[in-house]
């Protein structure tokens, strides 16, 4: 599989778990670097808030992908424009390749839906 195919599959898996409210599973399946970025409860609350504000993820469109090979591993940084129930968002995923699959290392989401009137 190409990096694009691996990233699309990983993003779909992430969105499926987000839509199913499997926040702890997202955390548990993520790379140690992601898990060490904050307390489990805080990261789960963050994912809950994303889902509560944006609703279910729908169509995702890959807008940019970059591969970095370092002594610490091979990373794919992918940016998607994703349509959610309550608006669009730009999501940036940082994946690390482990045993032929991508594991979540970092996640950032930006959306005008987060702006409160």
CATH at 67: 3.10.450.590
Phi, psi dihedral angles at 95 (to 5 degrees): -110, 145
Confidence of residue 116 (pLDDT cuts 50, 70, 90): low
Residue 103, SS3 per DSSP: strand
Instruction: Tell me which residue of 76, 55, 70, 68 sits closest to 11, measured CA to CA.
Output: 76
Q: Which tens digit of pLDDT belongs to each residue from 42-92?
A: 999 999 999 999 999 999 999 999 999 999 899 999 999 999 999 999 999
Which range of residues forms the domain containing residue 19? 3-114
Confidence of residue 25 (pLDDT cuts 50, 70, 90): very high
> Which H or E run contains 27?
helix 23-29
Total domains, the chain: 1
What pLDDT shows up at residue 38? 87
Distance CA 1, CA 114 (A): 35
Sign (positive or negative) of CA dihedral 90, 96, 101, 107: negative
The pTM score is 0.93
């Amino acid at each position: 599989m190409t990096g694009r195919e691996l990233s699309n599959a990983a993003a779909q898996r992430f969105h499926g778990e987000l839509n199913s409210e499997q926040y702890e599973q997202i955390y548990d399946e993520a790379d140690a670097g992601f898990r060490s970025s904050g307390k489990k409860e805080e990261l789960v609350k963050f994912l809950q808030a994303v889902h509560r504000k944006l609703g279910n993820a729908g169509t995702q469109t890959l807008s940019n992908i970059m591969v970095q090979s370092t002594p610490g591993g091979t990373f794919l940084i992918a940016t998607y424009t994703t349509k959610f129930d309550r608006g669009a968002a730009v999501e940036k995923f940082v994946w690390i390749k482990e045993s032929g699959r991508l594991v979540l290392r970092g996640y950032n989401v930006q959306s005008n839906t987060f702006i409160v009137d």
